[in-house]
């Protein structure tokens, strides 16, 4: 089998420049080359942010993840996919940035916490693909994520954005090492998120069986900081084998010819579609309607 013939988007990316073409590279990676892997990586990145007490405390205070985890998940994805799919200079992306910045502006979020969350969107897919992807990310693909999300951060008003990817990764790891620790809020928002992810694959009655296998994808320190029970070694080894077999199979499959678009996915949160301006949470009295229109 000619693997290159079945990987046209990977071949296309080889010719692109991370600095000038990072939006195209990011789009091709997420929507054609690694759609499943990227989504799984960013789901696990949520837990990395929840292990920071200042982040989990604020997130728990909104009640969204504890009471409506699927809505929080959909809201986050929709904002990011609006920016990724249309480009951050598009009219839709500008509306998405306005909506996101308005939501964030309702809370006292430290610049360092914003910077750390941003870093997980850059580095978690790199770490995931090195371990579980059908191939690791190439250098220009890694750098494209850095340039893409650094620009996203700039438009969010995040200060002190690093100019160097390696320096940012070192900062992110150091920030987690210094600040990550267990609090009740970590578990309070982590448990419904864990069950939400399990629900993508299993019926609810199988959640107790599936939890240790999903947790085996997280490092032991992160599991401890979230207040979960670390799975036994045999489960971790079993998941390593399963994911190794999967990546070997995917390596022989063709890339998606049609993009997997997050904005076009049917979502239980918005069965009739959505308006960008109605995504997310609203301070009490700041919203005039609870209805959602067709996607526009």
pLDDT in tens, 147-167: 999 999 999 999 999 999 999
Q: What is the pTM of this model?
A: 0.91
**Closest alpha carbon to 117 in 172, 171, 77, 66:** 172
Let me know if residue 294 belongs to a domain: no
Spatial neighbors of 164 by CB under 8 A, at least 6 apart, are none
Confidence band (pLDDT; 50, 70, 90) for 217? very high
Task: Give the CA distances from residue 83 to residues 41, 86, 91, 146, in Å, rounded to whole numbers and listed in that order.
Answer: 18, 6, 10, 15
Task: Give the CA distances from residue 78 to residues 13, 31, 150, 224, in Å, rounded to whole numbers and listed in that order.
Answer: 25, 14, 19, 30
Let me know if residue 171 belongs to a domain: yes
The reported pLDDT for the residue numbered 115 is 97
Let me know if residue 174 belongs to a domain: yes
pLDDT in tens, 83-93: 999 999 999 99
Let me know if residue 65 belongs to a domain: yes
The reported pLDDT for the residue numbered 110 is 94
Question: 2: buried, middle or exposed (CB in 10 Å: 19+, 13-18, 0-12)?
Answer: exposed
**Closest alpha carbon to 171 in 222, 126, 122, 220:** 122
The reported pLDDT for the residue numbered 283 is 54
- Show the domain range for 147: 8-254
Let me know if residue 200 belongs to a domain: yes
Q: What average pLDDT does the chain have?
A: 91
Let me know if residue 272 belongs to a domain: no
- Separation between Cα atoms, residue 13 and residue 108, nearest integer Å: 39
State mean pLDDT over 182-201: 95
Between 105 and 234, the higher pLDDT residue: 234
Let me know if residue 264 belongs to a domain: no
Domain count, the chain: 1
Between 42 and 291, the higher pLDDT residue: 42
First CA to last CA across the chain, in angstroms?
A: 42
Report whether pLDDT(224) > 70.
Answer: yes
Report whether pLDDT(296) > 70.
Answer: no
pLDDT in tens, 13-56: 999 999 999 999 999 999 999 999 999 999 889 999 999 999 99
Range in 34-48, 66-80, 199-213, 239-253 the model is least confident about: 66-80
Let me know if residue 267 belongs to a domain: no
């Amino acid at each position: 089998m000619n693997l290159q013939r079945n990987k046209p988007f990977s071949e296309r990316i080889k010719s692109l420049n991370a600095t000038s073409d990072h939006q195209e590279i990011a789009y091709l990676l997420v929507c054609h080359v690694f759609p499943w892997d990227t989504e799984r990586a960013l789901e696990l990145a949520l837990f990395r942010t929840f292990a920071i007490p200042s982040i989990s405390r604020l997130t728990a205070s909104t009640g969204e993840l504890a009471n409506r985890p699927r809505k929080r998940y959909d809201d986050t994805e929709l904002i990011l996919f609006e920016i990724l799919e249309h480009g951050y200079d598009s009219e839709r992306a500008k509306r998405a940035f306005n909506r996101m910045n308005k939501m964030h502006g309702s809370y006292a979020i430290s610049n360092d916490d914003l910077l750390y969350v941003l870093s997980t969107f850059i580095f978690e897919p790199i770490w995931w693909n090195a371990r579980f992807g059908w191939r690791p990310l190439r250098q220009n693909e890694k750098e494209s994520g850095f340039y893409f999300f650094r620009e996203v951060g700039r438009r969010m008003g995040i200060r002190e954005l690093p100019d160097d990817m390696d320096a940012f990764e070192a900062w992110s790891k150091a920030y987690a090492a210094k600040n990550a620790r267990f609090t009740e809020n970590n578990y309070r928002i982590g448990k419904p998120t864990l069950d939400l992810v399990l629900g993508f694959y299993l019926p609810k009655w199988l959640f107790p069986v599936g939890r240790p296998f999903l947790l085996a994808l997280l490092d032991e320190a992160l599991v401890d900081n979230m207040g979960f029970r670390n799975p036994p070694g045999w489960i971790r080894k079993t998941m390593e084998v399963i994911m190794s077999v999967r990546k070997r199979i995917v390596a022989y499959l063709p890339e998606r010819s049609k993009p997997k678009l997050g904005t076009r996915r049917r979502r239980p949160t918005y069965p009739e579609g959505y308006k960008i301006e109605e995504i997310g949470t609203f301070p009490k009295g700041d919203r005039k309607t609870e209805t959602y229109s067709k996607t526009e």
